[in-house]
Amino acid sequence: MRHRPALAWQEIGAFMTTLALRNGLAPQALRFAILTVARTGEVRGMRWQEVNVEAKVWSVPGDRMKAGRLHRVPLSAAALAVLEEARPLMRQYGDLVFPSGQLRKPLSDMALSEVVRRMNEGGEKGAPPRWRDAEGRAVVPHGFRSTFRDWAGETRPEGREVVEAALAHTIKDKAEAAYARSDLLEKRRPLMDAWAEQCSRIPAEIVGQIGGMRESAQL
């Protein structure tokens, strides 16, 4: 099975800069998903009652997790900032964080995919998409988890166990899993803070293009 198209981690700052220029809940949800390396379904179903701002933790219930168990996500300052952007729509703690236009229903998975598709529009005919993987395929939301994994594997000291915990991957070895009681939350905090910093790095060649990017992002 082929992996889903993923952006090279060296380009994540440029992508996030462009994404931040787009208005609406779907771009916000995608930014939050990238910053937390959560699956899009976990983000789309997220409710305010799951967020502890003081502890800087998002607790995803097991019924929305692939592994079927609670997953705690340490929230970086950048992730908390996205939540602050979305907060004006909140009426009560049981509300969805990123609702659709009907407020009581979550965004569709297609809504997040459409954000990336639109970001790839406007190029020259026949040219590869701007945001693409090494094979030239247009990236998709789920692929940013692989972007994070590549970045962490190449640049961070935390090690595979912590990175896999951040991605909420289960331990396949049953004997090893029996002894892995901790979710390594505190070890994951500096990892997610560093990822947020990487996502905020704007390449020099992008700085001069920001004005034009603002205009095209509104189209």
Domain ranges across the chain:
9-107+140-209
Handedness of CA 135, 139, 142, 146 (dihedral sign): positive
Q: Which is the catalytic residue, given 4, 117, 130, 169?
A: 169
Label residue 217 by pLDDT band (50, 70, 90): very low
As a whole number, mean pLDDT of residues 117-122 equals 91
User: Which option is the CATH number for 9-107+140-209: 3.10.350, 3.40.50, 3.30.70, 1.10.443?
Assistant: 1.10.443
CB 164 within 8 A of CB 170: no
Catalytic residue chosen out of the listed positions 179, 187, 188, 189: 179
Residue 126 pLDDT level (bands cut at 50, 70, 90) = confident
Query: Looking at 44, 64, 142, 188, which residue is catalytic?
Result: 142
| pLDDT in the model for residue 70 | 95
User: What is the predicted pLDDT for the residue at 2?
Assistant: 60
The pLDDT score that the predictor gives to residue 174 is 45
- Report CA dihedral (145, 216, 138, 100) to the nearest 10 degrees: 60
2 part of the active site: no
Strands 57-60 and 71-74: antiparallel
What is the pLDDT, as a whole number, of residue 209? 58
Residue 103 vs residue 214, higher pLDDT: 103
Using alpha carbons, list the distances in angstroms from residue 55 to 65, 98, 134, 208, 209.
21, 21, 38, 38, 37
149 vs 189: CA distance, rounded Å: 15
The sheet with strand 51-52 has its strands ordered as 51-52, 57-60, 71-74
Q: What pLDDT score was predicted for residue 92?
A: 87
Residue 213 has pLDDT above 70, yes or no: no
Between 209 and 136, the more confident residue is 136
* Cβ neighbours, 10 Å, residue 93: 10
For residue 97, is pLDDT > 90?
Answer: yes
Record the tokens describing residue 132, joined without a space: 């693409």
Q: In this structure, are residues 130 and 123 in contact, taking their beta carbons and an 8 Å threshold?
A: yes
| 19-63 pLDDT per residue, tens | 999 999 999 999 999 999 999 999 999 999 999 999 999 999 999
Cα 82 → chain centroid: 11
For the cut 70, the answer to whether the pLDDT of residue 156 exceeds it is yes
Distance between CA atoms of 147 and 153, rounded to whole angstroms? 10
Whether the per-residue pLDDT at 212 is higher than 60: the answer is no
Please compute, for residue 126, the number of CA atoms within 13 A of its CA located in the half-sphere on the CB side.
Answer: 0
104 tagged catalytic: no
Mean pLDDT of 111-124: 90
Q: Is 93 a catalytic residue?
A: no
Q: Looking at residue 120, what is its pLDDT?
A: 94
| 169 is annotated as an active-site residue | yes
